[in-house]
């Protein structure tokens, strides 16, 4: 089992790395060259850089994952692909993607995009809170405990 992070805009990278190190699970950060850093990563953490294309990180993650790996993403499209590959997919706001909710999430994304194309304004995501981070940490602990 590995944990893959769609890392460009993930607000819980440090939380994931801390929890993964407790369980000795390797972490792979996948991010674009636009977020390049010379900072040395913690033990057990690998960083893979990809081009800045819209879905470059998603495609690279899908090339690397195996069934039962954990993926952290806010991208519904990537979540859908990963579920089809029998991965465990979590959102940083503390919920797990599954076959029961992914279709509704994709439909909601589609309808919002159509509304924006027609000139309507749509609400963006609510700000990320400490409560969200705590909820995510609990979910990640439970997910790992249930699968090791």
Instruction: For residue range 1-35, list pLDDT tens digits in order.
Output: 999 999 988 999 999 999 999 999 999 999 987 66
Please name each of the domains of the chain with its CATH number: 3-147 (3.40.50)
DSSP label at residue 74: S
Do the beta carbons of residue 88 and residue 143 sit within 8 Å?
yes
Candidates 122, 25, 8; CA nearest to 75 is: 8
pLDDT digits (tens, 9 = 90+) for 119-145: 877 676 788 899 999 999 999 999 999
Please provide the DSSP assignment of 9-27 as one string. T-TTHHHHHHHHHHHT--E
Measure the CA–CA gap between 131 and 119, rounded to whole angstroms. 33
The H or E element that residue 134 is part of is helix 130-147
**Kind of pairing between the strands at 95-96 and 88-91:** antiparallel
């Amino acid at each position: 089992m590995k944990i893959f992070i769609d890392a460009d805009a993930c607000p819980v990278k440090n939380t994931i790395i801390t929890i993964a190190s407790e369980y000795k699970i390797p972490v792979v950060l996948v991010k674009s060259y636009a977020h390049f850093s010379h900072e040395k990563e913690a033990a057990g953490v690998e960083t893979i850089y990809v081009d800045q294309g819209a879905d470059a990180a998603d495609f690279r993650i899908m090339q690397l994952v195996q069934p039962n790996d954990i993926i952290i993403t806010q991208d519904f499209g990537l979540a859908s692909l990963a579920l089809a590959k029998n991965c465990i997919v979590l959102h940083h706001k503390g919920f797990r993607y599954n076959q029961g909710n992914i279709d509704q999430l994709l439909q909601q994304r589609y309808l919002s995009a159509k509304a924006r194309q027609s000139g309507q304004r749509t609400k963006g995501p609510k700000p990320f809170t400490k409560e969200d981070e705590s909820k995510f940490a609990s979910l990640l602990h439970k997910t790992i405990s249930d699968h090791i």
